[in-house]
Chain A
Amino acid sequence: MRILILFLLCLNISYVKADEIYNLLKIPNLEIYKLKSENNIRYLNTKGDFKIGVNDNIKCNKVNQKNLTDKFSVIEKNLNYYNSKFLKNISLKYIVLCEDLYISDINTGGIPDTKKRTLILDINFNPKYFERMIHHEIFHMIQKSFSNNFNENIFSSFNNSDFSYAECSTCSDRLNLDLYKNTNGFLTEYSKSIPSEDMAEIFSYLMTDENKINEIIKEDQILRNKVGFIRQGLSKIDGNIL
């Protein structure tokens, strides 16, 4: 009987498996979640864990389908704020949905990549900030595509002269995402990290709670200038986003 089993094992044939999504995005273990949408965004989800980037420093896990189904409507609702022309201009086409996203062992909500037209989102990111995080990451893609509209030196000049940003977003301990009661030029602690994060925080609030920001800037001159700067930069790309 053992000889028979051995023979059957010898007949085992392996095939080349095609992965068209990997060929396009260079991210393994993805499958299509939703391909057609009004603004041409394509949603993909992880069917297995993946590691990408330099020394595999970006890691994310397989999604639980029920978890994804529960959260997808929120994700789609927020992405539907952007029209297809705008998304094309900022090089965003693919949303990769996964769980527990890490970059260099630091948990992060999203990782944008304009070159691959991809935004990786962690669907397990803190629900309190989840929607705002989506717009925050999208702003990074906007800034990358239209850097002239969002010059960091001009933006930084709106701050008090005694303020200085950190060297990088992760090399400071200014990470809290809660809205300050007393803003004084910054919406959150994370806004104080680097200029691009400051801009992204303002943009994310403008997309999720514009009325609140309009209230705040009545009393905060620095923020008023910053918000005006962001609005002006965006209006040059698309007058209807804000």
Chain B
Amino acid sequence: MIKKVKASLSEKILFIFLISLGIFAFSSFFLLKNKCLFIDEVNLKNINFTNPENIAVMNIECGNVVIELYPDISPNSVERFKTLLNKKAYDGSAFYKVVENTLIQAGDLEFGNKEYLDYSKIGSGKSGLGLLKSELNDEFEFTEGSVGFARTTEFNSEDSEFFITLKEIPIYQGEYTPLGKVIYGLDILRKIKTGNKAIYVLRPDYINTFRMLNSN
């Protein structure tokens, strides 16, 4: 006669947990595989821009991010940024430095591109246009969605790399050159791939295209 073994409470909990985990993993694989699933698309045709000459559109995996540039605050830096956009220099640029819910950085045109990604040199690439003088502004607050020109530890070393803040970073005020602000698509930026335990991202996400609105 076969003796019936009764499961203990912990075994029952573990069994239920494993079943739930299986269901969750199964549904995640099929339903949530697409990280852009719940992202609203920004339709540029539905937006009336008052200053289209200062609007830039970055297209990444989950859609369009619309950025308003501030030439009044940082004239030389915005001019450089526009020059690079018009040269399509940022197309294929990697978001190689990402701190979850804090900051994303891209724009190394030499060592941080989809075609050529060199982790030993990334962050030191040059645009070939020379370094710019920092245009610091003590009034500009780096709130959520602020776009700034990245630099080395020294001032006056801005070139092509830029960062976007995903939360307010008060200490950046007066420390970095402001370029503009994200006006649409911040949730898209939050979907950019982060590193696991480092700020540098292996197999990063890339910018598909980055253009001035008028050139789209």
Let me know if B10 and A18 touch, CB within 8 A: no
Interface window among A1-9, A54-62, A100-108, A159-167: A1-9
Let me know if B169 and A20 touch, CB within 8 A: yes
Let me know if A16 and B195 touch, CB within 8 A: yes
B1 interface contact, C-beta 8 A: no
Let me know if B17 and A4 touch, CB within 8 A: yes
Let me know if A16 and B171 touch, CB within 8 A: no
Let me know if A18 and B138 touch, CB within 8 A: no
Tell me which residues across on chain A come within 8 A of B103, comparing CB atoms.
18, 20
Number of interface residues of A (CB under 8 A): 17
Q: Which of A1, A18, A24 contacts B102 (CB 8 A)?
A: A18
A32 interface contact, C-beta 8 A: yes
Let me know if A35 and B198 touch, CB within 8 A: no
Let me know if A16 and B169 touch, CB within 8 A: no
Let me know if A20 and B102 touch, CB within 8 A: yes
Residue of A nearest to B170 (CB): A35
Known: A16-B195, A18-B102. A32 touches B14 (CB 8 A): no
Compute the total of residue contacts between A and B using a CB distance below 8 Å.
Answer: 43
Q: Restricting to A94-117, which residues have a CB under 8 Å from any CB of B?
A: none
**Bound CA span A93–B14, Å:** 56
Number of interface residues of B (CB under 8 A): 23
Q: Which of B14, B100, B169, B198 contacts A7 (CB 8 A)?
A: B14
Q: Which of A21, A24, A26, A35 has the most CB of B within 10 A?
A: A24
A240 interface contact, C-beta 8 A: no
**Bound CA span A14–B169, Å:** 22
Q: Which of B14, B102, B170 contacts A3 (CB 8 A)?
A: B14
Let me know if B14 and A4 touch, CB within 8 A: yes
Q: Restricting to B1-37, which residues have a CB under 8 Å from any CB of A?
A: 10, 13-14, 17
Known: A14-B197, A16-B194. A21 touches B100 (CB 8 A): no
**Bound CA span A21–B173, Å:** 12
Let me know if B13 and A4 touch, CB within 8 A: yes
**Bound CA span A24–B169, Å:** 12
**Bound CA span A3–B10, Å:** 9
B184 interface contact, C-beta 8 A: no
> Nearest chain B CB to A33's CB is how many angstroms away?
12
Tell me which residues across on chain B come within 8 A of A42, comparing CB atoms.
171
Residue of A nearest to B10 (CB): A1
Residue of A nearest to B98 (CB): A16
**Bound CA span A15–B198, Å:** 9
B140 interface contact, C-beta 8 A: no
Known: A16-B195, A20-B102. A4 touches B171 (CB 8 A): no
**Bound CA span A35–B138, Å:** 12
Let me know if B102 and A21 touch, CB within 8 A: no
B204 interface contact, C-beta 8 A: no
Q: Which of B14, B171, B194, B196 has the most CB of A within 10 A?
A: B171
Tell me which residues across on chain B come within 8 A of A20, comparing CB atoms.
102-103, 169, 171-172
**Bound CA span A16–B99, Å:** 7
Let me know if A21 and B138 touch, CB within 8 A: no
A124 interface contact, C-beta 8 A: no
A145 interface contact, C-beta 8 A: no
**Bound CA span A35–B100, Å:** 24
Q: Which of A4, A7, A26, A40 contacts B138 (CB 8 A)?
A: A40
Let me know if B17 and A21 touch, CB within 8 A: no
B175 interface contact, C-beta 8 A: yes
Tell me which residues across on chain A come within 8 A of B125, comparing CB atoms.
none
Residue of A nearest to B198 (CB): A16
B174 interface contact, C-beta 8 A: yes
Let me know if A18 and B99 touch, CB within 8 A: yes
Tell me which residues across on chain A come within 8 A of B213, comparing CB atoms.
none
9 A-B residue pairs with CB within 8 Å:
A1-B10, A4-B10, A4-B14, A16-B196, A20-B171, A20-B172, A32-B171, A42-B171, A93-B174
A: residues with CB less than 8 A from B are 1, 3-4, 7, 14-16, 18, 20-21, 24, 26, 32, 35, 40, 42, 93
10 A-B pairs with least C-beta separation: A18-B102, A18-B99, A1-B10, A20-B169, A4-B14, A35-B170, A20-B171, A21-B171, A4-B10, A16-B99
Q: A16-B99, A24-B175, A40-B174 are in contact. List 8 more A-B contacts (CB 8 A).
A: A4-B14, A16-B194, A18-B100, A21-B171, A24-B172, A32-B170, A35-B173, A42-B171
